[in-house]
Amino acid sequence: MAEESVETNPTRAPRRLKGHKAMATCCIASTHRPGLIASSDEDGRVCWFDMRSKDVLYTMDVAQNPISSLCFKQGNEDILYMSSENEVKVFDVHMLASWKPLESYNYNKEEINQITCNSKSSFIAAADDGGDIKIIDIRQKCLYKTLRAAHESICSSVQFLPWRPWEVITGGLDSKLIMWDFSKGKPFKVMDLGKSDPENSSGAPQCFNPAFVHAIAVPEVDMLDKVDKICVVARGDGVVDVINIESEFEVAKSRASSKPKKGGQPKSTKPENQDQDRRTRLRLDYTSGGHTAAVSCVAFSKFGEKGKYIISGGNDKAVKAWNWSRYFEADQTCDNNDLLHLNIDLSRKVNWLCTTPTDSDNLVVCDTSKVVKVYTVA
């Protein structure tokens, strides 16, 4: 297969969105109103931008401390959730006069790192520095469950699994990826990414940083017909992991069933299809043209064929677009070196990024400045 050329630093300069008073921390893009973007900063401000206009639409000064995370209510993007310190606030974007929150939740004891809303718009999850995850029932407006005693350090990221309605996946600075049944409040699978990786055939370390989980991403509901049930992990050692979660479940089940019962004979543990087993995970690292420092964020592309690209940003001042799905296609023989589609070198480290469902101005980047940049990925 001919190797696909990698575009580096598109000649078109990025759009610069101004309105923040301090370093931008997070950004989200509307799905139902393409071109509408919300971003937050360290001074507690939320800025709203419309790509059809060059100026900020309006600003919300809604917190005294940095805003760590933003998310829309699924199916109703008029409702915005934001986290600051240990508090989650809920706003109606039509109430421009006062910006008073509709609700406020203070269930977390430590600083919240990420919030997310499930696809049924019934729960919010809030992951905090203490390693706890609070599941908030937003219909009953009360705490539903606390997930704890699994992460040994900061819980940095949380996502609901849209194809498993009672499950969430979390990542932390203990290098663990944990699957939870939040109806029971218990973990049922723990993956320690800090252990030696048998697929790292080079034997050389990616970089000196540990494999902390800084961010995770899962496909949205409308991507599942074309995208596998996967989880993408942004790691502190510069690796982007793409893990087929359902295949991991099957492997775990087969290992459990292979254990001999008392007085019985062990079953064969040889995989029926070694190539299929090997392709349950994809490791995107510096040998594939990947990051050379910690990866801070990951996202799926919402533009074009949804989910075709994984976008990653890192402390190496780079953003990369990966055509990851080619690796898992049965009729493809490409290796990891064929998967990097685009590399953008920046002047600052990346705090967060998101994508929009538009043909241009479809990659939004919050770096360590107060100006939000917008690029076009074709």
* pLDDT classification of 298: cutoffs 50, 70, 90: very high
d(CA 197, CA 225): 30
Q: How confident is the model at residue 258 (pLDDT cuts 50, 70, 90)?
A: low
pLDDT grade, residue 47 (50/70/90)? Answer: very high
Q: What number is the average pLDDT over the span 252-264?
A: 59
Residue 197 above 90 pLDDT?
no
User: What gap in Å lies between CA 288 and CA 298, rounded to an integer?
Assistant: 17
Give the model's pLDDT for residue 44: 96
Measure CA of the first residue to CA of the last residue in the chain; give whole Å.
Answer: 21
Q: What is the pLDDT of residue 139?
A: 95
DSSP H helical ranges for the chain: 245-258, 274-278, 325-328
For the cut 70, the answer to whether the pLDDT of residue 181 exceeds it is: yes
Average pLDDT, the chain: 88
Instruction: Tell me the pLDDT tens digit for each residue of 342-359.
Output: 999 999 999 999 999 999
CB 359 within 8 A of CB 306: no
In tens, the pLDDT along 107-124 reads 999 999 999 999 888 999
Residue 158 one-letter amino acid: V
Q: How many angstroms from the chain centroid is the CA of residue 377? A: 19
pLDDT tens digits, residue range 79-97?
Answer: 999 999 999 999 998 886 6
162 or 10, greater pLDDT? 162
pLDDT at 276 over 80: no
Rounded CA separation 224/203 (Å): 34
How is 60-127 classified by DSSP, letter by letter? Answer: EE--SS-EEEEEEETTEEEEEEEEETTEEEEEETT-TTT---SEEE---SS-EEEEEE-TTSSEEEEE
Average pLDDT over residues 23-44: 96
The closest alpha carbon to 6, from 198, 292, 290, belongs to: 290
Residue 5 is predicted with a pLDDT of 54
Of the given ranges (48-52, 201-205, 343-347), which has the lowest mean pLDDT? 201-205
Q: Which amino acid is at 176?
A: K
The answer to whether 246 and 229 have CB atoms below 8 angstroms apart is: yes
